[in-house]
Amino acid sequence: MSKKTVEVIIASGNNYVIGVKKNQKTLYQSIEKCAQEKPIGYYSQLERNKGRIENRDVTVFNLPEEIKKQWTGAQHGIKIRREVKVNGRYREENAYYLSSIKNGSALLYNYGIRNHWHIENSLHWTKDVTMKEDASKIRLGNAPSIISTLKNGAMNIFRKQGMNQIAKATRLVANDIETLNKLIN
């Protein structure tokens, strides 16, 4: 997310929690260094789900003034350390975030960031993989946004009818106008 976008968010009276990417080298290294200082908040969570074990450690820390000056509204840095074990394979990864929330706790950040990924996985992943949106050759004018809106509408109709497997629902109605009409009405 750009610094201009962050300014607009703060000017509109809202807050942000934004991911810091490795391609933002200077910021990423500064945040990484800050995360080694004494934290002001900590939360740990262990999840076991479908053969996957994930340990998440969320650390909240104060940002140095130089980062606060560069990023409008920035208050805290957040480090999320994930240890994941799936089918006997183990991996560890760190993710860093900037936040403008003044009284954010590690539990709050964990909840908010996890919910963001739930949205990412349930909407964007479905559109990208199941509906092949990224592979679409439709690129001119308003056509991409129109097609995207139609796909969103279709997913909403399917989910409202209790059809959470979008690929299966798409196959069900693909050549059956009567079933499609029943879902819409």
Distances (CA, A) of 180 to 109, 124, 154, 160, 170: 41, 23, 10, 13, 10
Domain boundaries, the chain: 3-104, 143-184
pLDDT at 132 over 90: no
Strands (E), 50-151: 52-62, 76-86, 89-99
Least confident of 2-11, 107-116, 117-126: 117-126
Residue 120 has what pLDDT? 61
Rounded to an integer, what distance in angstroms lies between the CA atom of residue 180 and that of residue 185?
9
pLDDT per position as a tens digit, 152-183: 888 888 988 898 888 899 888 888 888 888 88
N- to C-terminal Cα separation, the chain: 40
Query: Average pLDDT over the chain, rounded to whole?
Result: 89
Nearest to 170 by CA among 160, 182, 157: 157
pTM for the whole thing? 0.68
pLDDT at 181: 85
Contact by Cβ (8 Å): 80, 110: yes
Q: Is 49 exposed, middle or buried (0-12, 13-18, 19+ CB in 10 A)?
A: exposed
pLDDT of residue 123: 66
Q: What is the pLDDT of residues 33-84, one digit of tens each?
A: 999 989 999 999 999 987 889 999 999 999 999 999 999 999 999 999 999 9
Instruction: Look at residue 62 in the predicted model and tell me its pLDDT.
Output: 93
